[in-house]
Amino acid sequence: MEAEPPPERHRDQPSTSGGLGYFHLRLHAAGAPVLLLLRSDRLYSLSFSRRRGPRLRLLASPGRHHSRRRLRRDPVLSTSGCVVRLTHCFSSDDAVRVNGRPLLRGRCPVDLAVGDEVSLLRRGARYGFSVEKFVSCEGPEFVAAEPCGEVLVLRAESLLKRLRAISESHDPLSFLRDSNCAETCSEDVPVKRAREDDFLPLNTPINPIAEENLPLEHCNLDQGKLEQCTDAAIAKEGIDESIQGTKGCSNGNTEQKDCSNGNTEQQYNEGCYSDGSTFFLNRLTGFGPATRVEKQSGVTLPQLLHPVDSLERVFIATFTSDVSWFLDYCKVPQNLPVTIACHNKERCWSASQESRTATPFGSYPNLLLVYPQFPEEIAFGKDRKKQGVACHHPKLLVLQRKDSMRIVVTSANLVPRQWYLITNTVWWQDFPCRSSPDYSALFSKAEEPKSDFASQLVSFIAFLVNEVPSQSYWINEIAKYNFEGAAGYLIASVPGIYAHRPHYLESNYCLSRKQILRTKLAHRVFLGFVQTSVVGLSHRFHMPSDAGSKLKALSVLLSKCHVNMHGTTEVILKRNTNIPADANAVSVLVADLDKFTEEDSVHLGFLPREVAKWVSPLSDLGFFKFSGFIYPKEALEAAYGVTNTKVQLLLHVSKGAEFSQISGLIQDEHLPLLCSLLASLKRSLGLWRLEEVLSHFKWPETLETDFFYSASSIGTSINPQFIASFASAAGKRSNPDLESEESDPEWGCWTTNHELKKPSINLLFPTIDRVKNGACGIQLSRHLFSLPERTWQRLRSTGIFRDAIPHPYHRIGHPMHVKVAQRRFRSRLGRHSFGWTYCGSHNFSPAAWGHILPPPKANPSEVRAVSSGPRLHICNYELGIILIVPPSSMSKQTSGRRREINDIALPFVVPPPQYKPGDRPATSLAMREAMAEASILQSNDLVDLSEDTDEDLPNEDNDDEHLIELSDCSPEEKEEEKIYAETLWEQVDSSQSQEMDQNDH
């Protein structure tokens, strides 16, 4: 844009004492930063559009008059010499900030000099600008004037901001270490470095980046060009997002290092690398210009998929998803097989298997949406129409290539705002391809927990796709890769009610296609167990004709059966190949195993159809062996009609004769069967999985320095009992004596009484003031954080709440959606730190980690022989990763620099500061009140705040305190199971009658 000759002065124009010139203003808003030129003899207004963002309008120039109404609504910019004057009529004291300080009402106009920064709040969103430069147009050529001492101003402003940030920081040493202040404050720093310096973000990331040689015609003073720039912003579901996203992994041909926190080097134009020993953060791209720190900090979604053309398959698990955005943003090829498991309130709770999948895009024929099912036992009142507190909440990406498989565990959902605007954690590791598939790796080894990465991964995916046979090929694909080098431990949660089960049950008989087969224990390799039931028992023993004799025979046999230390007795599983109704039917027989004869056994019932359909063929193929165990008194109660609940049956699973040959023998039609088995095998989940992993290490209580958990949601039913359960599972012990050991596993465990006397953990949650002062005000956070007011009131006196301050400092003002826990220790001599760190999708709630339920209530007249231990009730699907730096005495590292827990850079300030007097967390009530205040401030142009959210918030009205009541009853036999069993009984009786007639003849 060429300079204009000085025009005749208009009566409404401001006077200028410095001659004609141009002010360089850097507009900081969503999307790319815009450099604006303001003539020193003009009057401008800075308006805000919900669709197009901030816009600059020329109000006073020759032949034009400004609108009085516009002057009343929008800030006005006028000039005087080398000063820009800001005039505004906002009613809120916090609506305008200059250099981070609120501009009180009545304190306008205000004069701005070079280096000043302004932040404005308009319609619930913050935007702003900085005064970069004044260029005088006097004389024959443009001469860059420095009437205000540009270099000195920039340096002074930089120093002032840093000194203010240091004085206000809760951890000045960490701030100084991370901000490279020494380099910034050097006397030799040139003007360009001073301009490019990473100033502390105030409320919107305002970091001027000079463009010394930028042609004037490219400076976007023209209104059309300015609007064209803001048109690139995207509006999502009625909420302004104004996002200018990165469309690839490269920034030109520039080599950029440090994917996140300086631990790993990588080039953006070649994707990203991680050895799995730490986690990273996503790159924030939604506000203002990308500073040098931001360009070198964080990973993007396209980087994780790069190079996308080499991908063979993709599996994604997420809570919410914007699939069309993902396909476009990551340039996903149209024929690439992509499976996305996501949450849908109607589909996930539907009893119809046909509703489990959807193919939304005809142009992507290999893209399939899967909606994992929630079991009836976690529904309120065991009625699917009364849905429980549950959601499919993991954030997982499995990226398969020919030579490697990348596993990504993140806290970000598959939606743009969480990758652009909100801080999330991202962990990933690449695993090499094997020369041949290894199916034994798909089954956990309790004695070697680190080797169970593959089994935990495949089990979790099997849970999600078990009802979608076409997706069972993922089981086979995972077996092709080597996960033995995993740097962390997967922690999964799956909805259901679980009881502690024995790792091994001694059995003598297993299912056989031919005759009932007695096995030799020496040749059996235990793989796990499946919890199922016996169906048809009530029909068999309630028939008037022979109910008495059958009951008497059952009582006699059960009294002779050997009951093991777990309270169970072995039963006989028999294939019924002569039943037309189901060729896979399996009978359950009770017999005296020491003197077994089939004639003297009692037919108790059958395996459920859904279990028999994969148990029988896998046994027939010789891949696996199955044995059965029941609780004898529970069977008697059901037979006598004392209870109508299902009779539990534990399937003991071991390697079959052909197990080692699976890779050569398995066919495509066998994969759904194997998927069902893997989904049914019982593994430790939630709190019990956390305990399983961390119990392999001794954590010295006296050396603990920190134990904290940062989450975007804290459950409604959080209380000292749950906190104590979590602390105990995490390795917290009441006895600090490291050398003391007792045979009782409960000895020394952290209990509720210990928690009440001395809280074990600090909970990080942002204050309401921090949320209100965010880069977009409360708009971006209002559906992101969840802390019920009653939970805060219940726990506020414990002093466990800490403020969640984003780190590093350039993330201040951006909400955190992280779920990070860490327990840290320092060696006795203070030479090194160790401990463990969790990151993933688990919020701090019983719905995510599980609620420990008391044992089932005993019948007053009978002592039930069911498992008497506690049960774990989990509502959500969740997935996370635990990274462990063990104590030096347990470390296997023999050379090189010793890893430390402090090497893992956390996304918040540590140690987290305690709430100050008067601080209040961003509870649901506080957020509603803040939104009401924002609505009052925006009364002239209200923002619609009623739209649905795509953030992962369980409804607070679904109080998970009801979980104890709804899950304190055992499941009953379903009507379809009764019909199935009755059909089998009729055909078994008919077959036996025909055999007896043939024997008589």
- Contact (Cβ atoms closer than 8 angstroms) between residue 585 and residue 511: no
- Contact (Cβ atoms closer than 8 angstroms) between residue 908 and residue 816: yes
pLDDT recorded at residue 260: 37
- Contact (Cβ atoms closer than 8 angstroms) between residue 52 and residue 79: no
Residue 223 reports pLDDT greater than 90? no
Using alpha carbons, list the distances in angstroms from residue 693 to 206, 444, 449, 451, 492: 44, 12, 7, 11, 12
Among residues 393, 670, 754, 814, which one is catalytic? 393
- Contact (Cβ atoms closer than 8 angstroms) between residue 862 and residue 635: no
Does 160 or 489 have the greater pLDDT score? 489
Mean pLDDT of 170-198: 43
Strand order in the sheet with 76-80: 53-60, 43-49, 76-80, 83-87, 110-112
pLDDT recorded at residue 491: 97
520 is in an annotated binding site: no
Q: Measured between alpha carbons, how far is 468 from 357 in angstroms, rounded to an integer?
A: 8
Computed over every residue of the chain, the mean pLDDT equals 75
Using alpha carbons, list the distances in angstroms from residue 593 to 507, 529, 559, 734: 10, 21, 12, 46
**The token pair that represents 193 in the structure block:** 């470095």
Q: Is 2 exposed, middle or buried (0-12, 13-18, 19+ CB in 10 A)?
A: exposed
Does 898 or 858 have the greater pLDDT score? 898
Mean pLDDT of 323-334: 95
819 is in an annotated binding site: yes
Q: Measured between alpha carbons, how far is 963 from 958 in angstroms, rounded to an integer?
A: 10
pLDDT recorded at residue 37: 75
Backbone Cα Rg of the chain: 33
pLDDT recorded at residue 174: 59
Q: Measured between alpha carbons, how far is 29 from 230 in angstroms, rounded to an integer?
A: 9
Among residues 817, 842, 851, 873, which one is catalytic? 817
Q: Measured between alpha carbons, how far is 805 from 423 in angstroms, rounded to an integer?
A: 12
* Annotated catalytic residue 393: yes
The CATH number assigned to the domain with range 21-61+72-138 reads 2.60.200.20
Digit-coded pLDDT (tens) for 380-437: 766 666 777 789 999 999 999 999 999 999 999 999 999 999 999 999 999 999 999 9
Quote helix, strand, coil % in the chain, to nearest 5: 30, 25, 45
pLDDT recorded at residue 54: 66
Q: Measured between alpha carbons, how far is 483 from 527 in angstroms, rounded to an integer?
A: 18
pLDDT band at 202 (very low <50, low <70, confident <90, very high): very low
pLDDT recorded at residue 962: 44
Q: Measured between alpha carbons, how far is 671 from 674 in angstroms, rounded to an integer?
A: 5
Using alpha carbons, list the distances in angstroms from residue 493 to 274, 378, 383, 952: 25, 14, 22, 16
**How does 252-273 read in b/e, with b if 16+ C-beta sit within 10 Å?**
eeeebebbbbebbebbbbebbe
Q: Where are the alpha helices (DSSP H) in 681-714?
A: 686-694
Residue 60 DSSP code? E
pLDDT recorded at residue 891: 63
Mean pLDDT of 240-249: 29
Q: Where are the domains of the chain?
A: 21-61+72-138, 270-289+296-433+481-486, 522-681, 689-734+749-855+868-938
Least confident of 449-458, 729-738, 913-922: 729-738
Q: Measured between alpha carbons, how far is 787 from 832 in angstroms, rounded to an integer?
A: 36
- Contact (Cβ atoms closer than 8 angstroms) between residue 405 and residue 399: yes
| Residue matched to tokens 């991370």 | 178
pLDDT recorded at residue 370: 96
**The token pair that represents 288 in the structure block:** 């203002």
Q: Measured between alpha carbons, how far is 964 from 873 in angstroms, rounded to an integer?
A: 8
- What own/partner pairs with CB < 8 Å and gap ≥ 24 does 329-334 have? 329/245, 329/247, 329/301, 329/302, 329/416, 330/301, 330/302, 330/305, 331/247, 331/248, 331/302, 332/305, 332/308, 332/364, 333/308, 333/309, 334/363, 334/364, 334/365
Digit-coded pLDDT (tens) for 662-680: 989 999 999 999 999 999 9
**How does 662-691 read in b/e, with b if 16+ C-beta sit within 10 Å?**
beeebeeebbbbbbbbbbbbbbbbbbbbbb
- Pseudo-torsion of CA 794, 798, 800, 801, nearest 10°? 50
- Which range is most confident: 130-134, 334-338, 806-810, 928-932? 334-338
Q: Measured between alpha carbons, how far is 975 from 738 in angstroms, rounded to an integer?
A: 55
**The token pair that represents 756 in the structure block:** 């009440």
pLDDT recorded at residue 513: 78
**Range 522-681 classified under CATH 3.30.70.2330:** yes
Q: At residue 206, what are phi and psi to the nearest 5 degrees?
A: -105, 100
pLDDT band at 5 (very low <50, low <70, confident <90, very high): very low
CB atoms within 10 A of CB 39: 22
Q: At residue 868, what are phi and psi to the nearest 5 degrees?
A: -95, 0
Mean pLDDT of 588-596: 84
Q: At residue 447, what are phi and psi to the nearest 5 degrees?
A: -80, -15
Q: Measured between alpha carbons, how far is 587 from 591 in angstroms, rounded to an integer?
A: 13
**Which positions ≥6 away from 667 have C-beta within 8 Å?**
none
Digit-coded pLDDT (tens) for 500-533: 877 677 888 888 877 676 765 556 788 889 999 9
Mean pLDDT of 563-582: 87
Q: Measured between alpha carbons, how far is 272 from 791 in angstroms, rounded to an integer?
A: 41
Q: Measured between alpha carbons, how far is 149 from 363 in angstroms, rounded to an integer?
A: 59
Closest CA to 781 of 544, 604, 599, 951: 951
Decide: pTM greater than 0.85: no
Digit-coded pLDDT (tens) for 29-58: 655 567 777 777 778 877 766 556 667 777
- Contact (Cβ atoms closer than 8 angstroms) between residue 509 and residue 570: yes
Instruction: Give domain 689-734+749-855+868-938's CATH superfamily.
Output: Endonuclease Chain A (3.30.870.10)
Q: Is 560 exposed, middle or buried (0-12, 13-18, 19+ CB in 10 A)?
A: middle
* Element spanning 168, H or E: helix 150-168
* Element spanning 634, H or E: helix 632-640
**The token pair that represents 20 in the structure block:** 């004609």
The tally of CA atoms less than 13 A away on the side-chain side of residue 188 is 2
Q: What is the largest CA-CA distance in the chain?
A: 127
Does 27 or 761 have the greater pLDDT score? 761
Q: At residue 689, what are phi and psi to the nearest 5 degrees?
A: -70, -40
Q: At residue 489, what are phi and psi to the nearest 5 degrees?
A: -115, 125
- Contact (Cβ atoms closer than 8 angstroms) between residue 642 and residue 673: no
Digit-coded pLDDT (tens) for 79-114: 766 678 888 776 666 678 887 777 765 556 788 877
Mean pLDDT of 208-224: 29
Q: Measured between alpha carbons, how far is 144 from 703 in angstroms, rounded to an integer?
A: 61
Angle between helices 609-620 and 671-680 (to 10 degrees): 120
Amino acid letter at 572? I
- Which range is most confident: 141-150, 195-204, 776-785? 776-785
Strands 280-281 and 313-317: unpaired
pLDDT recorded at residue 565: 81
**The token pair that represents 239 in the structure block:** 């909420």
270-289+296-433+481-486 with 522-681: one CATH topology? no
Domain 270-289+296-433+481-486 CATH class label: alpha beta
Q: Measured between alpha carbons, how far is 298 from 993 in angstroms, rounded to an integer?
A: 73
Q: Which residues pair with 593 in a beta bridge?
A: none
Q: Measured between alpha carbons, how far is 302 from 328 in angstroms, rounded to an integer?
A: 10
DSSP states along 796-837? GGGT-EE---BSSGGGTTS-B---EEEEEEE-TTSS-EEEEE
Digit-coded pLDDT (tens) for 685-723: 999 999 999 998 889 999 999 999 999 999 888 999 999
Q: Which residues pair with 652 in a beta bridge?
A: 529, 627
Dihedral over Cα of 571, 577, 579, 585: its sign: positive
pLDDT recorded at residue 523: 63
Beta strands in 290-393 (DSSP E): 313-317, 338-341, 357-358, 367-370
pLDDT band at 893 (very low <50, low <70, confident <90, very high): low
| Residue matched to tokens 């993709």 | 314
SS3 call for 374: coil
Least confident of 247-261, 285-299, 408-422, 798-812: 247-261
Digit-coded pLDDT (tens) for 353-365: 888 899 999 999 9
CB atoms within 10 A of CB 599: 5
Q: Measured between alpha carbons, how far is 289 from 749 in angstroms, rounded to an integer?
A: 51
Q: Measured between alpha carbons, how far is 929 from 857 in angstroms, rounded to an integer?
A: 44
Distance of CA 977 to the CA centre of its chain: 37
Q: Measured between alpha carbons, how far is 34 from 915 in angstroms, rounded to an integer?
A: 38
